Structure 1
Amino acid sequence: MDAFLQRVWYEGRSQWFSLLLLPLSWLFGAVAAVRRAAYRRGWSQSFRVSRPVIVVGNITVGGTGKTPMTIWLAERLQARGVRVGIVLRGYGGTSTQWPRDVTNETSAEEVGDEAVLLARRTGALVVAGPDRVAAANRAIERGAEVVVCDDGLQHYRLVRNLEIAVVDERRGLGNRRLLPAGPLREPPSRLNSVGLKVLTRRAQPTAGNAIPNAIVTTPVLGDAVSLGTGERRSLESFVGSPVHAIAGIGNPQAFFDALTALGLSVDAHPLPDHVRLTEEHISFPDGAPVLMTEKDAVKCPPGATASRLANCWAVRLDIAIGEADAQAIDRLLDRLLPSH
């Protein structure tokens, strides 16, 4: 069903189905508008924490590149000597106690895959929990000087000092309809109120999907690291023989397309976002290498044999930002953190 909706929302197929859902979309929009107004007018209570809060999110369902942007932002802040706390919902986590401090060794099953990925990549003070106010306060208790919230643009209960909205350029805002007739969590006009708009450009500029006054980020795939041995290989070294690629992320096709663009012969295996990996997901009879995103790598079954994991490779993802755009972000940070 998810793949079908993606085609309806982003590819313009089966538009009769989208039209059928329009009454529900109008209802969703009305509820969302009332909720926003309730927080804006003080009918619902918002909470301000004692440190600046930056929210990195999106207004569409699915992957736009917000987690790589969060990683870049955390590293940029840390380079200035700022202690960064990252908070997120912990989607898919089974923990019965929240908020949860997250380290390199925390189980992704307990706190969600993105939380563990962020802890491993950034070394920041990562705290997961559905109550982002409580999670932010916990990060501050641990010494965070600024809180970066991965997702949560619509979590108005937490007062924020800067909102960053990330849009995937290739998919844009889809058919520009609200859920469930389209992919939007909020109307397109919501982008006018954020402090920074970020466009994730995965290929050549896409006509019709431009976002005015947005900075541009470009995803960059790094080396692949064996989950069993720690061996590091360039992606170019896989060219010439087939590979399996698995991706349980919001936009798995983006990962497959990036590998194909490097000349790899990819047998793609898209999986639902946040899916819990089993040995069946990483086992293929032909013995070809299995490439996966870092987010999937943190979920690999702990009971898998070393020989099987040796054939599984986590592919690092970074983003590149032009110097002028990076300096524009620095100026925003200067206003938030004048002492740094």
Structure 2
Amino acid sequence: MSSQSLEQRLLRAWYGKAAWLWLLRPLSALYCRVAARRRHAYLSGERDQWQPPVPLIVVGNITVGGTGKTPMVLWLIEFLRAQGYRVGVISRGYGAKPPHFPWMVSATDDPAVCGDEPSLLVRRCGVPLVIDPDRPAAARHLLASADVDLIISDDGLQHYALGRTVELVMLDHERGLGNARCLPEGPLREPAERLESVDLVVRNGAPGDSSNGFSMQLLPQTLINLATGERIAAVRWPGPRQVTAMAGIGNPQRFFRTLESLAFTFDTRIFPDHAHYDASILESLPGDRPVLMTEKDAVKCAGLAQVNWWYLSVEAHLSETFEAALLNLLSVPHSEKIEQE
């Protein structure tokens, strides 16, 4: 069984370059004009932009669909901590329903309260993290509540009310820009030319760094049992190879290909990105074989877990060239960076 959302069907059309999408071109042209005008209003000073007093890295994308943002943020947290930075994170908290905004996320928060990705980041890294659709408000609250000297914004590339030191854009190497058209004709949130003005482009799944961007590889590490916490190296899995693969992420096919690379065979259960799981939804999962899922799904399924449910932990790998480029950008004062642009 596969629960396909309208978003998944649109993603297939955009990245498959379906011919019928040209019917949406007038709407796409209007969207592009509005997006460009909005960005210009902030950059020209027509609308106010708040620049935080510490470096801020926006990790975003210009495409709809999974690009590997969360693994990139996890990598940045660990890498920058190793360089001596006190890192904090802000996020919109997609689908979150906290008692109020801004909200400092706790590792004990239900993902339904704070959002699945913020929950994953806090549980994995213990990083101070504030959610608020108003990104400047989130950043101010983070600075007032935690000892941080560098902020990572998980998404928010198009949230121009928040000033930034480094713009890092994620792309899925295989899918690229799809049909390279803006919404709703294509998957682009901004025109493709926007990539020319960002600081760093990272291509998830690219074989190596190139003039088109830096490579990020997601390497499978550990299978972790949701019910018991047991950990097994993914390449040393001793159980049956026939499993059920479950994914509610922006690009589930990447997860399935990773399982194939580990010699698993499986039937799939695909849910919408950020799906809410409850017992009625998950009761269709078979009980006679292991269920493997992503870490993002696992944070929402922990309270429902059966003994044969596992999630796959992955780690991002980036080059030393990328590390040097990032540190160089952080060393340039913001005022000097503006003059260079």
| TM-score, normalization by structure 2 | 0.91
The whole-number CA distance in structure 1 between the counterparts of 2:143 and 2:26 is 43
* Contact residue 240 and residue 265 of structure 1 kept, 8 A: no
1:172 is matched with 176
Check if 1:111 corresponds to 2:108: no
1:253-264 correspondence runs (5 A):
253-264=253-264
C-alpha distance in 1 between matches for 2:331 and 2:260:
40
**Which residue is equivalent to 1:92?**
95
- Counterpart residue type for residue 289 of structure 2: A
Partner of 1:285: 286
Kindly tell me: are residues 226 and 240 of structure 1, through their superposed partners in 2, closer, same or farther at Cα, counting changes over 3 Å? closer
Partner of 1:226: 225
Query: Any stretches of 5+ residues in structure 2 without a counterpart?
Result: 1-5, 335-341
Indicate the RMSD between aligned Cα atoms, in angstroms.
1.9
Residue 325 of structure 1 is matched in structure 2 by 322
Amino acid corresponding to residue 193 of structure 2 in structure 1: S
Q: How many residues align?
A: 326
Structure 1 window deviating more from structure 2 (54-63 vs 326-335): it is 326-335
Confirm or deny that 1:124 pairs with 2:127. yes
Contact 2:91–2:118 (CA<8 Å) still a contact in 1?
yes
Query: In the aligned structure 2, how far is the partner of 1:213 from the partner of 1:6?
Result: 23
Matches within 5 A, 1:140-151: 140-141=143-144, 142-151=146-155
Distance 1:249 1:60 in 2: 14
2:10 to 5, 29, 43: 5
For 1:132-143, list aligned pairs within 5 A: 132-141=135-144, 142-143=146-147
Preserved contact between residue 279 and residue 301 of structure 1 (Cα < 8 Å): no
2:59 matched to which residue of 1?
Answer: 56
Q: What is the deviation of 1:57?
A: 0.4
Tell me what 2:3 maps to.
none
Query: Could you tell me which amino acid in structure 2 is paired with residue 230 of structure 1?
Result: G
Consecutive unaligned residues in structure 1, runs of 5 or more? none
Deviation readout 1:145-204 (Å, 9 max, x if unpaired)? 0110010000000000110011110000000000000000001110111111111116x5
Could you tell me whether the CA contact under 8 Å between 1:51 and 1:140 is conserved in 2? no
Query: TM-score, normalised to structure 1's length?
Result: 0.91
Once the two structures are superposed, what CA deviation does each residue of 1:185-234 show, in whole Å capped at 9, x if it has no partner? Answer: 001110111111111116x58xxxx9734111101111111111111123
Secondary structure of the 2:182 match is: coil
Partners of 2:70 and 2:333 in 1: how far apart? 21
Superposed CA offset, 1:96-133 (max 9, x none): 40111112111110110000111112221111111110
2:156 aligned partner: 152
Q: Which has the higher contact order (CA 8 A, sep 6+)?
A: 2
Are residue 80 (structure 1) and residue 77 (structure 2) matched? no
Residues 281 and 254 of structure 1: CA distance in aligned 2, closer, same or farther (over 3 Å): farther
Q: Give 3-state SS (helix, strand or coil) of 1:183's partner.
A: coil
